[in-house]
């Protein structure tokens, strides 16, 4: 069944595959709307403090390793691409490609977390973690501390979402691998793909805000 | 939890008696059973929050406050606020009546995501567990608003545990709202067009929009407070240039819309009750629909009216004041349309209608005083006084709880298959109304005279009014306990109700009482508007005598 579309088994109360698929995707879109508002609170805080401490924010952003941010953007967008292909393979019932692409996505996602973890580690060494040990030489150390509070909170929340995504990929992947060949779950992967794309998009906003907002 | 009625007296197999094991309740995917799980849980939380309120009122009999220390009193009003807002009022009508009725009203067999519906209850209970834990190990003294920097730095109480509880509780709201929205969009029966939806469904749809768009902002706000408190990384900390006012903005961006989460479903219940007991079409159905959506929309634009005296810019204050006045327009449309629906109706003063009339009276008082609070100059005088306390209790308790009880009585025959004792219920509704006004009306005067909220020591000249208010509390308490007792009794021993004891329109009344597990043997096809009372045989005078009481 490589060429034709795979269909999900029907769950109560649905009686038609298309109806169930639409509803599942619609539900995910609404969930993503809540996620936008969740991150929106932090973006509001960023906007407010960027306005009141713009100089401190520039100094702190200049301190960031911009090449790590670039590398992470590359890694994450590639994982978004492989995820999109995986969703398409799931819809076509192409299990071999699906599992392969999921593996690549998972490895890329894990690499993102690794690079980010390295960045966190080096921040510890440089006393840039907010709290009593924080130290930053600048015109407005408090404002720079706020920058790093936001950096750790926002990328931390983003990484938490990445982690959840990786767990879901692992779970659905292993589950697909060990279930009979006929049981395809295309809706599940489509919903997961939407979630993964959302996580990508959040990063596309975080990356300029934390690495690029300073004049060279 | 309502247990299944005696199977000998009800021959049909229904959702209550189909399966009897404990597991069949705790792992059910049936929206009706989940509604009853919620009913049991929120009744527990209501009693918990009510006991705290009673203790506060007892304390306030005496101007010097000799029963509790100030800290204990602070913890009592925090407990009362947190439990009543997040663990009773917000889930009350949506999760009990909404869960039970939305699929039935739109002609569906269940919610779009039945498993998610059950998960939302477990998430709710987990959040409740954290809240109860925070109360048992020592309580929280910040007030339900958790203002920084007190909550993040200075308070010496269990703020993080309580914040975690509310955070988790928020996911229950989000799951419920998501489920409602998808269900209303995707599972309407053939012929059930958007403008044939019962108004109760429309208000819950509007409420769900607020659930999914406002709740995540509360989640992130409380997360930031917990991070600041737990790790000392001060995002709202003025010492490093952070802004405590930002917390208030974020908090009220959720918590003002949350007020409409509480009152919109109540308005939906009232629309159903008025139509059924006036035997009339709802006057200006479309206007009521747009008013619901309008309230949900405007609710997001008025949060700044909580911060008129917090150092917010005066221009922001003026705009927020104006926008707050706008909320009065859709609210007034609803009140006038209910009144017009009653006009020339053939009214029967059964218990649900008594609650509905009580709602209209108290909601109008609450709404009008809301306009006073939205006026900048008046607000400066009455901010953080008992005037505010009285105002929002008229909306929350006089409005939302009245409607909740009215709805519980109205749909009780559908939920249990039995009738409640009518005479007793009417007396309970009247006692509740008297007790409510006795408790809360004096607070308007107290607040206007300048008594601040959240103090348990006050000047002696305020004692008389405080005394009257405290006298009202046991009356109010009896008004709440009576329904608990006779509804509990009637769910086992009440006389059988039959499918449609009120002769009401609406798909939920086309099913047997209690309904079977999947609601409809066959999905109904809808051909008329929702409140087609003019098309019933009685409208032609055929069954007129059955309604002359």
Tens digit of each residue's pLDDT (9 = 90 or more) over A106-143? 999 999 999 999 999 999 999 898 988 899 988 889 99
Tens digit of each residue's pLDDT (9 = 90 or more) over B248-267? 999 999 999 999 999 999 99
- Supply the DSSP string of A154-167, one letter for each residue: HHHHHHHHHHHHHH
pLDDT, chain B, mean: 93
φ, ψ of residue B489 in degrees (nearest 5): -65, -45
Tens digit of each residue's pLDDT (9 = 90 or more) over A16-45? 889 999 999 999 999 999 999 999 999 999
Q: The CATH number of the domain where A178 resides is what?
A: 1.20.120.80
Angle at B522 between CA B517 and CA B524, to 5 degrees: 110
What secondary structure letter does DSSP report for B516? P
Domain extents in chain B: 39-536
Compute the Cα dihedral for A155, A158, A162, A167 and give only its sign.
positive
Task: Kindly determine whether residue A31 and residue B178, on different chains, have CB atoms separated by under 8 Å.
Answer: yes
Q: Rounded mean pLDDT of A155-183?
A: 91
Q: Comparing C-alpha atoms, which of A115, A111, A137 is closest to residue A211?
A: A115
Asked if residues B514 and B491 have their Cβ atoms less than 8 Å apart, the reply is no
Q: Is the pLDDT of residue A182 over 80?
A: no
Q: Which CATH superfamily is domain B39-536 in?
A: Cytochrome c oxidase-like, subunit I domain (1.20.210.10)
Residues in chain B: 549
Nearest Cα residue in chain B from A21: B186
Q: Which pLDDT does position B65 carry in this prediction?
A: 84
Q: Which pLDDT does position B544 carry in this prediction?
A: 45
Mutate to test the interface with A, among B31, B181, B211, B241 (most CBs of A within 10 A): B241
Q: Which pLDDT does position A155 carry in this prediction?
A: 96
Cβ neighbourhood burial of B239 (10 Å; 0-12, 13-18, 19+): exposed
Nearest Cα residue in chain B from A141: B240
Task: Kindly determine whether residue A145 and residue B240, on different chains, have CB atoms separated by under 8 Å.
Answer: yes
Mutate to test the interface with A, among B123, B189, B216, B519 (most CBs of A within 10 A): B216
- Supply the DSSP string of B257-269, one letter for each residue: HHHHHHHHHHHHH
Q: At which residue do the structure tokens 């003063």 appear?
A: B349
Which CA distances in Å does B151 have to B137, B160, B220? 17, 9, 15
Burial A4-40 (b: 16+ CB within 10 A, else e): eebbbeeeebbeebeebbbbbebbbebbebbbebbbb
Asked if residues A199 and A161 have their Cβ atoms less than 8 Å apart, the reply is yes
Residue A5, in any domain of the structure:
no
Residue A4, in any domain of the structure:
no
Tens digit of each residue's pLDDT (9 = 90 or more) over B5-43? 444 445 578 999 888 899 999 999 999 999 999 999 999
Tens digit of each residue's pLDDT (9 = 90 or more) over B56-83? 999 999 999 889 999 999 999 999 999 9
Q: Is the pLDDT of residue A52 over 50?
A: yes
Residue A12, in any domain of the structure:
no
Q: What HEC string does A101-134 produce?
A: HHHHHHHHHHHHHHHHHHHHHHHHHCCCCCCCCC
B chain contacts of residue A12, beta-carbon cutoff 8 Å: 29, 109-110, 114
How many angstroms separate the CA atoms of A1 and A9, rounded?
16
Tens digit of each residue's pLDDT (9 = 90 or more) over B382-397? 999 999 999 999 999 9
Q: Measured over all CA atoms, what is the biggest interatomic distance in chain B, rounded to whole angstroms?
A: 77
Give kind and range of the element (H or E) at residue B303.
none
Asked if residues B146 and B81 have their Cβ atoms less than 8 Å apart, the reply is no
Q: Is the pLDDT of residue B158 over 60?
A: yes
Task: Kindly determine whether residue B235 and residue A149, on different chains, have CB atoms separated by under 8 Å.
Answer: yes
Q: At which residue do the structure tokens 């590359």 appear?
A: A74
Task: Kindly determine whether residue B217 and residue A38, on different chains, have CB atoms separated by under 8 Å.
Answer: yes
Query: Closest Cα of chain B to A154: distance in Å?
Result: 10
The fraction of chain B above a pLDDT of 70, given in percent, is 96
Strands (E), B175-246: none
Size of interface A-B (CB pairs under 8 A): 113
Q: Which pLDDT does position A85 carry in this prediction?
A: 97
Task: Kindly determine whether residue B114 and residue A48, on different chains, have CB atoms separated by under 8 Å.
Answer: no
Token pair, residue A2, equals 């490589």
- Per-residue pLDDT band for A183 (boundaries 50, 70, 90) equals low
φ, ψ of residue B322 in degrees (nearest 5): -60, -45
Q: Which pLDDT does position B13 carry in this prediction?
A: 87
Task: Kindly determine whether residue A49 and residue B221, on different chains, have CB atoms separated by under 8 Å.
Answer: no
* CB nearest A34 (choices: B216, B234, B250): B216
φ, ψ of residue A12 in degrees (nearest 5): -55, 140
* CB nearest A131 (choices: B181, B233, B241): B233
Cβ neighbourhood burial of B528 (10 Å; 0-12, 13-18, 19+): exposed
Q: Which pLDDT does position A179 carry in this prediction?
A: 83
Asked if residues B53 and B393 have their Cβ atoms less than 8 Å apart, the reply is no
Q: Which pLDDT does position B114 carry in this prediction?
A: 96
Asked if residues B102 and B184 have their Cβ atoms less than 8 Å apart, the reply is yes
A chain contacts of residue B242, beta-carbon cutoff 8 Å: 49, 146
Task: Kindly determine whether residue A19 and residue B232, on different chains, have CB atoms separated by under 8 Å.
Answer: no
CA atoms within 13 A on the CB side of B353: 18
Residue A97 neighbours by CB distance under 10 Å:
15
Alpha helices in B494-516 (DSSP H): none
- Among A55-69, B87-101, B252-266, name the one with the lowest average pLDDT: A55-69
* CB nearest A130 (choices: B114, B178, B233): B233
How many angstroms separate the CA atoms of B94 and B506, rounded?
18
How many angstroms separate the CA atoms of A156 and B392, rounded?
38
Query: Closest Cα of chain A to B153: distance in Å?
Result: 13
* CB nearest A132 (choices: B110, B232, B241): B232
Tell me the Cα Rg of chain B: 23
The answer to whether B232 contacts chain A (CB < 8 Å) is yes
* CB nearest A48 (choices: B178, B219, B243): B243
Q: Is the pLDDT of residue B4 over 80?
A: no
Task: Kindly determine whether residue B241 and residue A23, on different chains, have CB atoms separated by under 8 Å.
Answer: no
Q: Which pLDDT does position A190 carry in this prediction?
A: 94
CA atoms within 13 A on the CB side of A167: 6
Residue A10, in any domain of the structure:
no
How many angstroms separate the CA atoms of B535 and B516, rounded?
27
Cβ neighbourhood burial of B377 (10 Å; 0-12, 13-18, 19+): exposed
Nearest Cα residue in chain B from A26: B182
Cβ neighbourhood burial of B374 (10 Å; 0-12, 13-18, 19+): buried
Task: Kindly determine whether residue B233 and residue A49, on different chains, have CB atoms separated by under 8 Å.
Answer: no
- Per-residue pLDDT band for A206 (boundaries 50, 70, 90) equals very high
Asked if residues B169 and B141 have their Cβ atoms less than 8 Å apart, the reply is no
Residue B313 neighbours by CB distance under 10 Å:
9
Angle at B186 between CA B182 and CA B191, to 5 degrees: 140
Tens digit of each residue's pLDDT (9 = 90 or more) over B202-241? 999 999 999 999 999 999 999 999 999 988 888 998 888 8
Q: Is the pLDDT of residue B539 over 70?
A: no
Q: Is the pLDDT of residue B136 over 60?
A: yes
Tens digit of each residue's pLDDT (9 = 90 or more) over B483-536? 999 999 999 999 999 999 999 999 999 999 999 999 998 999 999 999 999 888
Tens digit of each residue's pLDDT (9 = 90 or more) over B413-449? 999 999 999 999 999 999 999 999 999 999 999 999 9
Nearest Cα residue in chain A from B518: A13
B101 Cβ contact partners less than 8 Å away, ≥ 6 residues apart: B200, B411, B508
How many angstroms separate the CA atoms of A109 and A77, rounded?
10
pLDDT, chain A, mean: 91
Total count of domains within chain A: 1
How many angstroms separate the CA atoms of B431 and B423, rounded?
12
Residue B424, helix vs strand vs coil:
helix
CA atoms within 13 A on the CB side of B121: 25
* CB nearest A143 (choices: B178, B219, B241): B241
Range of the domain at A114: 17-212
Point out which residues pair with B418 in neighbouring strands: B496
Say what the alpha-carbon torsion angle B512, B516, B521, B525 is, to the nearest 10 degrees. Answer: 60
What ipTM, to 2 d.p.? 0.92
How many angstroms separate the CA atoms of B269 and B228, rounded?
41
Nearest Cα residue in chain B from A38: B216
Task: Kindly determine whether residue B241 and residue A53, on different chains, have CB atoms separated by under 8 Å.
Answer: yes
Q: At which residue do the structure tokens 């800290």 appear?
A: B71
Please give the span between the terminal C-alpha atoms of chain B, in angstroms, as a whole number: 33
Q: Which pLDDT does position B296 carry in this prediction?
A: 96
Residue A207, in any domain of the structure:
yes
Query: Closest Cα of chain A to B198: distance in Å?
Result: 21
């Amino acid at each position: 069944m490589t060429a034709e579309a795979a269909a999900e088994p029907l769950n109560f109360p649905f009686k038609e595959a298309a109806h169930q698929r639409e509803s599942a995707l619609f539900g995910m879109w609404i969930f993503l709307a809540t996620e936008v508002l969740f991150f929106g609170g932090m973006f509001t805080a960023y906007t407010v403090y960027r306005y009141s401490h713009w100089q401190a924010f520039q100094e702190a952003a200049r301190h960031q390793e911009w090449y790590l941010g670039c590398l992470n953007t590359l890694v994450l967008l590639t994982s978004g691409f492989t995820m999109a292909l995986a969703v398409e393979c799931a819809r076509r019932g192409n299990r071999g490609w699906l599992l392969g692409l999921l593996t690549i996505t998972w490895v890329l996602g894990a690499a993102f977390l690794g690079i980010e973890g390295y960045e966190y580690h080096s921040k510890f060494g440089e006393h840039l973690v907010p709290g009593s040990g924080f130290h930053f030489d600048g015109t407005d150390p408090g404002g720079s501390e706020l920058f790093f509070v936001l950096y750790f909170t926002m990328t931390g929340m983003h990484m938490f979402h990445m982690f959840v995504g990786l767990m879901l990929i692992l779970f659905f992947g292993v589950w697909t691998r060990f279930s009979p060949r006929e049981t395809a779950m295309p809706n599940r992967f489509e919903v997961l793909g939407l979630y993964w794309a959302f996580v990508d998009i959040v990063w596309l906003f975080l990356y300029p805000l934390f690495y690029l907002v300073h004049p060279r | 939890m309502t247990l299944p009625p005696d199977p000998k007296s009800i021959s049909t197999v229904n959702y209550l008696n189909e399966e009897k094991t404990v597991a069949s309740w705790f792992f059910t995917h049936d929206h009706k059973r989940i509604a009853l799980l919620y009913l049991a849980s929120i009744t527990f939380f209501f009693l918990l929050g009510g006991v705290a309120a009673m203790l506060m009122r007892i304390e306030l009999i005496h101007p010097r406050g000799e029963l509790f220390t100030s800290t204990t009193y602070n913890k009592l009003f925090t407990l009362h606020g947190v439990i009543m807002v997040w663990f009773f009022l917000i889930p009350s009508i949506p999760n009990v009546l909404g869960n039970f009725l939305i699929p039935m009203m739109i002609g569906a067999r269940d919610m779009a995501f039945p498993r998610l519906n059950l998960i939302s209850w477990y998430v709710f209970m987990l959040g409740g567990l954290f809240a109860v834990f925070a109360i048992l190990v020592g309580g929280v003294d910040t007030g339900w608003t958790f203002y920084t920097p007190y909550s993040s730095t200075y308070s010496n109480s269990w703020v993080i545990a309580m914040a975690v509880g509310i955070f988790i509780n928020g996911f229950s709201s989000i799951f419920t709202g998501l489920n409602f929205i998808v269900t209303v969009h995707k599972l309407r029966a053939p012929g059930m067009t958007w403008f044939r939806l019962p108004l109760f469904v429309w208000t819950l749809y509007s409420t769900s929009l607020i659930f999914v768009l406002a709740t995540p902002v509360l989640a992130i706000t409380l997360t930031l407070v917990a991070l600041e408190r737990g790790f000392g990384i001060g995002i709202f900390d003025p010492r490093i240039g952070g802004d405590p006012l930002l917390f208030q903005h974020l908090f009220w961006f959720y918590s003002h819309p949350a007020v409409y989460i509480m009152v919109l479903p109540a308005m939906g219940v009232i629309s159903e009750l008025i139509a059924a007991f006036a035997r009339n079409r709802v006057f200006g159905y479309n206007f009521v629909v747009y008013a619901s959506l309008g309230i949900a929309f405007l609710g997001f634009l008025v949060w700044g009216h909580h911060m008129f005296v917090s150092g917010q810019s005066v221009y922001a204050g003026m705009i927020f004041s104006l926008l707050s006045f706008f909320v009065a327009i859709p609210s007034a449309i609803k009140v006038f349309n209910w009144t017009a629906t009653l006009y020339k109706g053939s009214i029967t003063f059964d218990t649900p209608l008594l609650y509905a009339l009580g709602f209209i009276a108290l909601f109008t008082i609450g709404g009008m005083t809301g306009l006073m609070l939205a006026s900048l100059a008046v607000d400066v005088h009455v901010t953080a006084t008992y005037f505010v306390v009285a105002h929002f209790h008229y909306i929350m308790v006089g409005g939302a709880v009245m409607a909740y009880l009215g709805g519980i009585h109205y749909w009780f025959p559908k939920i249990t298959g039995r009738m409640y004792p009518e005479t007793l219920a009417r007396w309970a509704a009247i006692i509740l109304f008297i007790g409510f006004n006795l408790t809360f009306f004096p607070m308007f005067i107290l607040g206007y005279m300048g008594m601040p909220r959240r103090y348990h020591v006050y000047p002696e000249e305020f004692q008389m009014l405080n005394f009257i208010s405290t006298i009202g509390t046991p009356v109010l308490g009896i008004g709440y306990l009576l329904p608990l007792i006779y509804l509990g009794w009637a769910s086992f021993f009440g006389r059988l109700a039959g499918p449609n004891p009120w002769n009401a329109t609406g798909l939920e009344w086309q099913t047997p009482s209690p309904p079977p597990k999947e609601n409809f043997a066959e999905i109904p096809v809808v051909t008329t508007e929702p409140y087609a009372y003019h098309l019933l045989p009685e409208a032609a005078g055929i069954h007129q005598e059955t309604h002359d009481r």
